Structure 1
């Protein structure tokens, strides 16, 4: 009797699960969006029979000026969709160059994601859909049939910050079975980012897998820490629970992170198979992470042989009083005198930090401090930073 009751209960339970699964399946919209055509145009569709207007906004459209906490910057453009007699709104782009793009819809003034595209990405507190077009540069962002590295989230003890903190680590293909020691790239995010930014928005794992498979990059470990010193981890991943991410949290650029960065290096060199010397350490970052990179590398002037500044914020604000910012010129000279193999600077022509980078290069020129400079199109955008990573990494540890 008990066995019969148990089987009856399990049958009802499984039928319920199946019914819910079928409801989810058949309740979904049967629309293809985005649809990528052979000529690299892309059609977007949205079902909204009662909507008065539907627009699309994305980084594949001509940029528009927008106000941000960092001043006026280029933002994603907008375009109108057209409704057919079935209530399906659509828009087809011009042919797009190979790239990873992001977009959202605006329905009667409300910004929403595409219900027919399950591929989403978070940038600070904004969630958008993404899609990949073409080969070329975009091929580096795809998952290819090549050996793959491992991405792990690890917690390290930071005595200087008084907490355990989370970071993301990429280890190259075959690391787990190897006795080899590897060089390390420390890769830092920008304001509003966290330890998830480079691996998600930056496509770091795909880039590294593909460059290593092509023989264009040495197998290396890539460490992606959280630069927000008041956080133990990304929002939703730490002990503060789920809360809305902010563009800039307190203490991010006051010298605290730079002064305690060696806690991260010590953890990596104690727990991973690494070559723990200057010749096998690199550090790079975008925007705020470029700022951190510049100051960490000169504050510890004999730690890194490879330095990369991607659209970097440069000099500290007047209210930044951390000891890290003492004698900037003197520590830069010490860094130069100690020697390094690569000091790499990349910036977009319309980046709001362009002038600051120009002034910084003038300072380096006046000191006779060598560097390599790359100037690209566009502004303060992930499209540039992904490209910079693909240009920087092949130059490491040669």
Structure 2
């Protein structure tokens, strides 16, 4: 077949497919309410952001019997005569939120929006704007660093793995070495979480430009491993120190994580005080009761370590920083129980609480507050 004819045929087929996709907007959206969602794929008119931080959804599924939106709360959508299912949410808090379509009982990502790995599957997301004047989590006209994807072979996992590494502005044009923060995602997420949902590079670029945080390397690894401590200490840290210009002493190394990553931070940071001078625990805490996954969590050994070397932890940890959402955060009780044990032992820590649940708006805020405390 003539290549030019084949190209024209392919273009026509693709154009037909695109035109057939449900939810494609009219050329003029001026008559539609609100504005298209920030995370919509190109040309998708819905979901739409309405006044009061509500989201309106419209899904074309004429053969479906029931369509819902799961945004933590489940909303039933209403079908119209054209086979479109519509509905409007309650006001949502600022920042990023996962959501799913539930079509006849099956949860799926919305094809009209960008997808993110969360909740152990590909999920959709909406961004609710921050209040006017709060530009901490938005791109600004400042020098920008970048996030690099690196693959490495892990002896611990016996396979290839990858990490995402934030390098601050000026990294490629300087010869200086930088301190390092190892930053972990939560359960059901992976190494993409902090860069995609968390906006790590935007947060750090803005903080560094304002002189509020020191330039640093941030390493975001995959915490889905059978032995996180070995993966971090024997695989990730040596790889980073070989491939990036980083400082290699404990005073210039920090470890932090959210939810599951917070527990990994506790379980790895406490036994390895010689490796880390800063620990950050976001929306996390050791299980106060037997875990919901079966068995019980062996946390007493860590409390014993803290008890036996209390003075070492209090003097050598430059920051033992704990942050939490409000009481609606599912880790709230575990965290409160853990901090009471710290108080009984006499362990020093800093606690920060911000409104919100077990969600990315809380964790973005946590990074924004924690990063300026590092490497001072």
TM-score range for the pair, normalised by the shorter chain length: 0.7 to 0.9
The aligned counterpart of 2:127 is 132
Partner SS, residue 343 of structure 2: helix
Partner SS, residue 270 of structure 1: helix
Question: Deviations along 1:66-115, whole A, 9 cap, x unmatched?
Answer: xxxxxxxxxx1012223334333222234444222232222333333333
The aligned counterpart of 1:34 is 47
The aligned counterpart of 1:209 is 205
Determine if contact 1:351/1:378 at 8 Å carries over to the other structure: yes
2:174 pairs with 1:178: yes
**In structure 2, how many angstroms separate the alpha carbons of the residues matched to 1:326 and 1:390?**
28
The aligned counterpart of 2:33 is none
Name which of structure 1's ranges 352-361 and 133-142 shifts more when overlaid on structure 2: 133-142
Partner SS, residue 182 of structure 1: coil
Residue of structure 1 aligned with 2:274, choices 293, 302, 306: 302
Q: State the Cα distance separating 1:335 from its structure 2 match.
A: 4.0
Q: State the Cα distance separating 1:339 from its structure 2 match.
A: 1.8
TM-score (norm 2): 0.81
2:101 pairs with 1:93: no
2:70 pairs with 1:57: yes
Name which of structure 1's ranges 29-38 and 157-166 shifts more when overlaid on structure 2: 157-166
TM-score (norm 1): 0.76
CA 259–122 in structure 1, closer or farther in 2 if over 3 Å, else same: closer
2:365 pairs with 1:394: no
User: What runs of 5+ residues in structure 2 fail to find an aligned partner?
Assistant: 26-44
2:199 pairs with 1:199: no
CA 303–45 in structure 1, closer or farther in 2 if over 3 Å, else same: same
**In structure 2, how many angstroms separate the alpha carbons of the residues matched to 1:271 and 1:278?**
18
**In structure 2, how many angstroms separate the alpha carbons of the residues matched to 1:217 and 1:275?**
17
Determine if contact 1:345/1:371 at 8 Å carries over to the other structure: yes
2:255 pairs with 1:262: no
Q: State the Cα distance separating 1:328 from its structure 2 match.
A: 2.5
Determine if contact 2:95/2:360 at 8 Å carries over to the other structure: no
CA 107–296 in structure 1, closer or farther in 2 if over 3 Å, else same: closer
Name which of structure 1's ranges 339-348 and 39-48 shifts more when overlaid on structure 2: 39-48
Give the paired residue count: 348
**In structure 2, how many angstroms separate the alpha carbons of the residues matched to 1:326 and 1:132?**
39
Q: State the Cα distance separating 1:139 from its structure 2 match.
A: 4.4
The aligned counterpart of 1:328 is 305
Partner SS, residue 299 of structure 1: coil
Map 1:155-166 → 2, pairs under 5 A = 155-159=151-155, 163-166=159-162
2:336 pairs with 1:358: yes
Determine if contact 2:117/2:189 at 8 Å carries over to the other structure: no
Q: State the Cα distance separating 1:365 from its structure 2 match.
A: 1.8
**In structure 1, how many angstroms separate the alpha carbons of the residues matched to 2:155 and 2:308?**
25
CA 260–395 in structure 1, closer or farther in 2 if over 3 Å, else same: same
Q: State the Cα distance separating 1:164 from its structure 2 match.
A: 4.9
Determine if contact 1:106/1:112 at 8 Å carries over to the other structure: yes
The aligned counterpart of 2:255 is 283
Residue of structure 2 aligned with 1:45, choices 39, 46, 58: 58
2:33 pairs with 1:20: no
**In structure 2, how many angstroms separate the alpha carbons of the residues matched to 1:86 and 1:203?**
38
